[in-house]
Amino acid sequence: MSFPLVCLGNPLLDLQSDVTPEYLQKYDLKADDAILVEEKHMPIFEEVLKMDNLNVVAGGAAQNTARGAQYILEPNSVVYFGSVGRDVYADKLNEANAKYGLRTEYQVQDDIATGKCAALITGSHRSLATDLAAANHFKETHLQKPENWKLVENAKFFYVGGFHLTVSPPAIELLGKHAAETNKVFAINFSAPFIPQFFKEPLDNSLQYVDYVIANESEAAAYAESHDLADKANDLEAVAKHVAQLPKANTKRPRTVIFTHGLEPTIVVTHDHTTGENSVKSYPVRELAAEKVKDTNGAGDAFAAGFMAGLVQGKDLDKSIDVGQWAAALSIQEIGPSFPFPKQTYA
Ligand code: 26A
C-alpha cells in the first residue's frame, strides 16, 4: 500500500482541563507554553484526573496533524510513526486514530506507559506539560524495519514534529536524507519555544533537509534569540528570511518558512536556493466569532494538517495555506485537538 504522507512524532494522550492562573503559577507554568515535565510537575497528572471538567482526548502534536490531514484526504493517505506503551492510554489513541482512518505503525514498549500531556486551559490559552514516557523510546531502527521502510519509500511527503528532536534526531535525519535524495517534500514544525532554545543543535542539523518550516510567533522569537538574531526577535519577516536561506541539501525545491501569528496574518517567505530570490507574502486568518472558540489546544497542529493535506492534493502555496487556516478554525471549535464529525469539507 502506498500512503502519500508519513508523519513522525510523540504519541500522547491529552488530559485537558480548565484551570486558574493561580494553578499555573503554583507549578511555574506559562499560560501559552509547552514543556517537558520535571519531578516537581508530576502531581499535576493526578490532580487533573480528579478535576470536574477533565477531557481525555488523543494528542501528540504531529499525531494531531496526521489525524487532521487524514480527516481531509481520501482514505489511506497518512501513516504515523511514534512509540507507545501497551496500556489503556494507547487503546484510547488507537480508537481515535481509527475513527479518523489514520494508519499507525507504533513502536510498542512492553514496560513503559504511554506518554501523557496535561493540557491546562486558561481562557484562550493552553499550557502543555508533557511526560513523554514511552514516546521517549522511539528508535530509528523501527523505521528501518523492511515493512516500515517500504511505507517511507512509497511516501511523497514527510511531516515531523519538532518535539521529536527531543527523542530521536537519528530518525528525523533518516527521513530528511531520504526526502532530499529522492526529491520528496520534507516539512518540520518548531513545535515550541524550548525546541529552538534547548535543542538548537539537532534542529540546525535537520534544517538542511527541510522544504517547509511551520512555526508560530513565539517559536520564531525563540529561534531568533538562540541564533544571534535577538534584535529581530519580533520581526517575523526577518527571522523567516534568515531561516529560508540557510543551506539546503535538495536545491531542486525552494525552502518556505511559514510563521503563524494568532489572529494576525500568517507570514510566508520562500527562498529559491538556485536563483537566490526571496518571495514574501502575508495571509490574513479566517475570522471566527470569539464565542465559537472552544479552546486553542491543537490549533497549530490543525493548521499544519490542512497545509500538508493541501500539498498532498497538489494545491499551490496560497491554497494550501488557506486549507490550513480553514482546518485551524474547525479544530478550535472542538474540545482539544479534534475535528467535527460528521466530516466537513473544505470550501
Ligand atoms: C516533547 N513534547 C513536550 C511534546 C508535546 C506534545 N507533542 C509532542 N511532544 N507537548 C505537548 N504536545 C502536544 O501538543 C498538542 C497541541 O499542539 C499535546 O499532546 C497537544 O495535543
Question: Residue 74 and residue 163: Cα distance in Å, rounded?
Answer: 27
Instruction: Decide: helix, strand or coil at residue 134.
Output: helix
Per-residue pLDDT of the chain (347 residues; tens, 9 = 90+): 899 999 999 999 999 999 999 999 999 999 999 999 999 999 999 999 999 999 999 999 999 999 999 999 999 999 999 999 999 999 999 999 999 999 999 999 999 999 999 999 999 899 999 999 999 999 999 999 999 999 999 999 999 999 999 999 999 999 999 999 999 999 999 999 999 999 999 999 999 999 999 999 999 999 999 999 999 999 999 999 999 999 999 999 999 999 999 899 999 999 999 999 999 999 999 889 989 999 989 999 999 999 999 999 999 999 999 999 999 999 999 999 999 999 999 98
Taking the complete model, does pTM exceed 0.85, yes or no?
A: yes
Whole-angstrom Cα distance, residue 283 to residue 142? Answer: 39
| Residues 116 and 15: beta-carbon distance below 8 Å | yes
- Atom number in ligand 1 closest to CA 14: 19
Judge if the beta carbon of residue 304 lies within 6 A of ligand 1.
Answer: no
Give pLDDT tens digits for 306-336: 999 999 999 999 999 999 999 999 999 999 9
Neighbours of 99 (CB within 10 A): 14
Please report where in the chains the cell 474540545 appears, as a residue: 335
List for the chain the helix, strand, coil content (%; round to 5).
40, 25, 35
Q: Whose CA is closest to atom 4 on ligand 1?
A: 163
The angle at the Cα of 326, spanning 320 to 330, to the nearest 5 degrees, equals 145
Residue ID of nearest Cα to ligand 1 atom 9? 163
Residue bearing the CA closest to ligand 1, atom 21: 59
11 within ligand 1 shell (Cβ under 6 A): no
> Residue 62: which of 172, 179, 224 has the closest Cα?
172
Q: What is the CATH number of domain 5-12+60-112+133-332?
A: 3.40.1190.20
What is the spatial distance between Cα 265 and Cα 246, in angstroms, rounded to a whole number? 24
Q: How many residues does the chain have?
A: 347
Residue 296 CA, ligand 1 centroid: distance in Å = 13
Q: How far is the CA of 276 from the centre of ligand 1 (A)?
A: 35
The catalytic position among 301, 316, 318, 322 is 301
Closest CA to 142 of 108, 93, 184: 108
- How far apart CA 296 and CA 257 sit, in angstroms, is 22
- What is the DSSP secondary-structure string of 140-160? HHHHHSHHHHHHHHH-SEEEE
Instruction: Specify the residue for cell string 487532521.
Output: 68
Ligand 1 contacts CB of residue 161 (under 6 A) = yes
